């Protein structure tokens, strides 16, 4: 198959929805003699910050001279963003060839029971691992798709498990308490392994309990690392860090927000652990790797007058981090919010968190079949925003926002990474690379 055929094949697997469990992914990788066993890996789970933490780790390991495969989801503008080697996406030709092989295995191994076919994410995960093996990567930095214990990526025997934080999400799959969600995410911890976590409270205690049951060692980021915030600019954050191995003065990350500092510190904690285990990392490589990291769609500034910020916050805890950033910034002018969200998210709560800061909200639909109907959101939004507009498409939403905004105002586009993707497309972005 060619590249368009490969995309159509993968997209066609979306009809099988979300299916938690490892059986299908294991059957796929067994057909290729377990490509995931050919490289060391760091496995990253959590409610928010997984993608940014993975990007920081990717940067650090690459700066240390390793060949690194980075697997994240979802993508913004094109599928190939999910699968990077040393910062470069899988090529169209490579993707087409890999998808052909995956399709042949599905036809052979899963026939004559098409209803048991791998899902989109299971196939994408196997494809990524096969690509990393073919490229002979030293390390894979692998982001969990959903949860942890039963996520397709959990066939890995990772060197380190990372759990960024815990919030209420996907309760229909993971449970309805922080403790139950933490337990699902802690399913990525390996026997006698290592876990690094920035979680807090009852969630952290659940992670610690499961880690101890497995004989694993836990590094508690927020207790064992001390941060002093130094400065913020449109180029990112600067901070001083006292780590377990050394002090770091004036570390810089190219992403805005104190939550991104915590994600960076979590990555440093992993890097220091790897250094203790004998891998060549060191301060200069940590510093270089953090500064080089990229994670589009996270407080991404795309225009100055009016200021346009795109952020993929997609749940209440992510929106709270976004609100904290906006309150610290003390923005001049008014804040206008373009909001598009998936219907299974806690969108009423998300709107309520943003409402006190915003003069208007424009409700639109994210680029997903799971997108919430903006007119349904409007009923709730009218109770907490002074001005509510509905726009069926992102270009219409941007046009409405610009008509309402003065040059010193800020237009914030948020609610989902799918909404962030729609905004980037409407603003003319063809690629994130």
**pLDDT the model gives residue 332:** 86
Q: Residue 71: which of 187, 155, 170 has the closest Cα?
A: 155
**pLDDT the model gives residue 359:** 95
Q: Residue 225: which of 257, 186, 193, 270 has the closest Cα?
A: 270
**pLDDT the model gives residue 112:** 59
**pLDDT 10s per residue in the chain (433 long)?**
999 999 999 999 998 888 888 999 999 999 999 999 999 999 999 999 999 999 999 999 999 999 999 999 999 999 999 999 999 999 999 999 999 999 999 998 887 565 588 999 999 999 999 999 999 999 999 999 988 999 999 999 999 999 999 876 544 445 567 888 899 999 999 999 999 999 999 999 999 999 999 999 999 999 999 999 999 999 999 999 999 999 999 999 999 999 999 999 999 999 999 999 999 999 999 999 999 999 999 999 999 889 999 999 999 999 999 999 999 998 889 999 999 999 989 999 999 999 999 999 999 999 888 899 999 999 999 999 999 999 999 999 999 999 999 999 999 999 999 999 999 999 999 888 8
**pLDDT the model gives residue 111:** 72
β-strand partners of 41: 140
Helix 3-12 × helix 120-134 angle, to 10°: 140
Distance CA 283, CA 343 (A): 44
pLDDT tens digit string along 193-204? 999 999 999 999
Q: Give the domain 300-426 fold.
A: 3.90.190
- Walk across the sheet containing 83-85 and list its strands: 88-89, 83-85, 68-71, 139-143, 40-45, 160-163, 194-197, 217-220
Distance CA 287, CA 253 (A): 9
Distance CA 153, CA 145 (A): 7
pLDDT tens digit string along 320-359? 999 999 999 988 899 999 999 999 899 999 999 999 999 9
- Measuring CA to CA, how many Å separate 379 from each of 63, 347, 351, 375, 420? 50, 12, 12, 7, 23
Alpha-helical (H) ranges within 226-364 are 258-276, 283-292, 316-329, 347-354
Alpha-helical (H) ranges within 33-119 are 50-63, 92-109
What's domain 3-292's architecture?
Answer: 3-Layer(aba) Sandwich (3.40)
**What are the sequence ranges of the domains in the chain?**
3-292, 300-426
């Amino acid at each position: 198959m060619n590249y368009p055929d490969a995309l159509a094949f993968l997209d066609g697997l979306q009809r099988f929805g979300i299916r938690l469990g490892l059986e299908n992914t294991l059957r796929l990788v067994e057909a290729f003699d377990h490509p995931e066993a050919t490289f060391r890996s760091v496995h990253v789970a959590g409610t928010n910050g997984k993608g940014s933490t993975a990007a920081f780790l990717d940067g650090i390991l690459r700066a240390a001279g390793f060949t690194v495969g980075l697997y994240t989801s979802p993508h913004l503008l094109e599928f190939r963003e999910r699968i990077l080697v040393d910062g470069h996406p899988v090529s169209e030709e490579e993707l087409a060839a890999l998808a052909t092989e995956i399709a042949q295995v599905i036809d052979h191994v899963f026939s004559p029971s098409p209803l048991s076919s791998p899902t989109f994410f299971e196939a994408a995960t196997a494809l990524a691992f096969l690509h990393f093996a073919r490229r002979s990567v030293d390390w894979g930095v692998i982001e969990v798709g959903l949860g942890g214990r039963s996520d397709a990526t959990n066939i890995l025997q990772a060197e380190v498990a990372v759990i960024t934080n815990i919030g209420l999400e996907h309760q229909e799959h993971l449970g309805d308490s922080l403790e139950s969600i933490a337990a699902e995410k802690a399913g990525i911890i390996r026997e006698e392994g290592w876990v690094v976590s920035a979680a807090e409270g009852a969630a952290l205690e659940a992670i610690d309990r499961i880690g101890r049951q497995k004989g694993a060692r836990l590094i508690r980021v927020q207790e064992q690392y001390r941060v002093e915030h130094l400065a913020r600019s449109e180029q990112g954050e600067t901070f001083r860090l006292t780590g377990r191995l050394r002090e770091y003065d004036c570390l810089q990350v190219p992403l805005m927000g104190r939550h991104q500092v915590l994600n960076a510190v979590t990555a440093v904690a992993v890097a220091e652990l790897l250094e203790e285990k004998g891998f060549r990392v060191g301060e200069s490589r940590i510093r270089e790797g953090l500064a080089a990291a990229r994670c589009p769609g996270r407080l991404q500034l795309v225009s100055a007058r009016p200021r346009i910020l795109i952020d993929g916050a997609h749940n209440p805890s992510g929106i709270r981090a976004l609100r904290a950033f906006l309150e610290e910034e003390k923005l001049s002018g008014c804040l206008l919010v373009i909001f598009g969200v998936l219907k299974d998210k806690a969108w009423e709560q998300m709107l309520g968190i943003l409402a006190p800061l915003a003069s208007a909200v424009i409700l639109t639909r994210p680029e997903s079949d799971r997108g919430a109907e903006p007119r349904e959101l409007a009923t709730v939004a009218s109770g907490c925003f002074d001005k509510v507009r509905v726009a069926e498409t992102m270009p219409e939403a941007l046009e409405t926002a610009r008509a309402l905004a003065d040059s010193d105002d800020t237009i914030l586009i948020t609610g989902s990474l799918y909404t962030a993707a729609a905004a980037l497309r409407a603003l003319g972005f063809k690629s994130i690379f």
